[in-house]
């Protein structure tokens, strides 16, 4: 008998639980970082592109009590995982899920904010599982196509927030600038102070804005840094 994999893998946070199911994007520090870092001004409407398990949507629902969140993913297993986790969260009434390709989806409004942990690994061996290949390799959602689609989805004064590995993030930002988007907040993430930057958190705007650079070190000595704890303490159980 086939078991329900949605019940096999789960990650418990302070106010909600995420069950991964067969989704190609398991819970990671990247997602928690982005969910805690994105948006300094509370947005009223948020679009979560490539929602995976629904982690970012649910984190945004917790952080921003007035926000209406729309979650979207091309993968059926991801849509099912998000829908399952949404229904079991305290904020189910403020999150809507769609199984659709963002490049062909036509919403009836624009959003105050976009949040996205985009697929990456532009080269190298393709993952064996198609679901994981879709999530991790830039196949179904090319960065260039995503960038070109942002102005169709974002309000004129809106903001789009992302996390990517350093090299892919730098390429993404360069493409965004070529497309007329503007870099706002920009955070270089280091595992420790002695290790190089491995992730970039950044926000893009349709209108000119002032870039704000910062650095986040995840661990200092034998513990998480104060900055990392500040971003994640509302979510991680032992933070």
Whether the CB-CB separation of 164 and 148 falls below 8 Å is answered with no
Identify the pLDDT of residue 222.
Answer: 86
In whole angstroms, how far apart are CA 202 and each of 51, 105, 108, 197, 209?
18, 24, 27, 14, 13
| Helix residue ranges, H only, 4-136 | 29-37, 55-63, 76-87, 130-136
Boundaries of every domain in the chain: 24-232
Question: pLDDT digit string (tens) for 44-92?
Answer: 999 999 999 999 999 999 999 999 999 999 999 999 999 999 999 999 9
- Per-residue pLDDT band at 24 (split at 50, 70, 90): low
CA-wise closest residue to 121 among 99, 148, 98, 143 = 143
pLDDT given at position 132: 57
CA distances 178 to 100, 144, 147, 175, 187, Å, are 27, 10, 10, 5, 20
Reply yes or no on whether the pLDDT at 22 is more than 80. no
How many whole angstroms separate alpha carbon 118 and alpha carbon 138?
Answer: 8
Would you tell me which CATH number, out of the four given (3.40.50.150, 3.40.30.10, 3.30.1330.60, 1.10.630.10), belongs to the domain 24-232? 3.40.50.150
């Amino acid at each position: 008998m086939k078991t329900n994999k949605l019940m096999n893998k789960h990650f418990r946070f302070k106010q909600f639980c995420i069950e991964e199911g067969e989704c190609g994007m398991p819970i990671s520090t990247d997602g928690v970082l982005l969910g805690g870092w994105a948006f300094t001004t509370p947005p009223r409407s948020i679009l979560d592109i490539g929602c995976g398990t629904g982690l970012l949507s649910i984190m945004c629902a917790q952080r921003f009590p007035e926000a209406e969140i729309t979650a979207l993913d091309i993968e059926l297993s991801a849509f099912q995982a998000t829908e399952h986790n949404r229904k079991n969260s305290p904020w189910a009434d403020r999150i809507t899920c769609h199984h659709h390709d963002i490049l062909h989806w036509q919403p009836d409004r624009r959003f105050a904010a976009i949040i996205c942990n985009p697929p990456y690994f532009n080269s190298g061996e393709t993952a064996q599982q198609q679901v994981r290949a879709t999530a991790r390799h830039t196949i179904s959602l090319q960065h260039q196509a995503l960038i070109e689609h942002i102005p169709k989805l974002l309000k004129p004064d809106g903001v789009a927030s992302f996390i990517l590995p350093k090299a892919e993030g730098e390429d993404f930002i360069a493409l965004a600038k070529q497309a007329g988007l503007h870099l706002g907040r920009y955070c270089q993430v280091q595992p420790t102070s002695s290790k190089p930057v491995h992730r970039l958190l950044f926000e893009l705007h349709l209108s000119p804005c002032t870039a704000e650079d910062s650095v986040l070190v995840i661990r200092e000595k034998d513990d998480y840094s104060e900055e990392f704890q500040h971003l994640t303490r509302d979510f991680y159980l032992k933070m």
